[in-house]
Structure 1
Amino acid sequence: PGDNKSINLENLKGKVVYLDFWASWCDPCRKSFPWMNDMYSRYDSENFIIVAVNLDASKTDATKFLQKVPAKFNVAYDPNGDVAEKYHLKAMPSSYLIDKRGNLVFAHKGYREGDTTEIEEKIRQLLHSK
């Protein structure tokens, strides 16, 4: 987690991927991390992976954030916003579910605790699909 390795989604086929874009200045992002840690702990053994892509210009800001709000899952850095641009980000955080075949099947903007039940249900459905 947070090891700054390059992550290629092509290599994650066969897994359900929760791709999340966040920044240290984003309060809803801070609130989403405990939930993502919980989802990772629950479903890690079922071919579920979380990739949280940080968009801070300064990696130091992200590092300070992660010291206060640790991540159990993979963290990648996109300071130039190259990856974010491919997903046409409109809000922070923005998250995407990618099925085992590598297809983007769900997109969500923002973070509201009331939405987590629906997202977890979608994760479960994808994990149990072929």
Structure 2
Amino acid sequence: MPNALKTLATLLLITSVLLVTCKSAYANDPLNEFEQAMVQHKGKVVYVDFWASWCIPCRKSFPWMNTMQAKHQDQGLVVLSINLDAEKKLSKEFLKQTPANFAIIYDARGKLAQKFKLKGMPSSYLFDRQGKLISAHTGFNGKKQQLYEQEISEALAQ
């Protein structure tokens, strides 16, 4: 019996190590992080924003997204941003100057950008409470901001 227990303990140890290794590798995958975030926020309206530290309009969109998140989170709005900087330190410097009060997924290799077929920066996507894409936009300015707010309000009302 002692050999059987030793074998079982060894198998459990190997299984644990494999699970931790696979889980940490899986957790660092932006595609997986995004899918998990969408599952976590099912039943909510999700505004997804792609950004990078070099994006000038992003500096204006961040305060607006912070405001939208604060103003509408009780109604079910979630802002989720995806950073495309190749070096994470660049995004950290950006965030020191322009803080984010919403979740950020780091996509240094652009896997999510490819999935969404990004055409410019910033790019935003609005998903309804069922997870269906209802609008997509490139760019950010005052005129577009009004349109985005209207779309968010309409999505939250449904």
Q: Shorter chain as normaliser: what TM range?
A: over 0.9
* Structure (1 or 2) with the greater helix fraction: 2
Picking from 12, 34, 41, the partner of 1:12 is 41
Q: Identify the residue that residue 77 of structure 1 maps to in structure 2.
A: 106
Structural RMSD (CA): 1.4
How many pairs does the alignment contain? 126
- What TM-score does the superposition give when structure 2 sets the normalisation length? 0.76
Which structure has more relative contact order (CA 8 Å, sep 6+)? It is 1
Q: Counterparts of 1:97 and 1:84 in 2: how far apart (Å)? A: 15
The answer to whether the aligner puts 1:116 opposite 2:145 as a matched pair is yes
Q: Which amino acid aligns with 1:88?
A: K
Alignment of 1:1-130 (within 5 A): 6-7=33-34, 8=36, 9-129=38-158
> How far does residue 11 in structure 1 lie from its aligned partner after superposition?
2.5
TM-score normalised to structure 1 length: 0.92
Give the number of the structure whose alpha-carbon radius of gyration is greater. Answer: 2
SS at match of 1:14: coil
- Same amino acid, percent of matched pairs: 45
User: Which one-letter code corresponds to 2:51 in the other structure?
Assistant: W
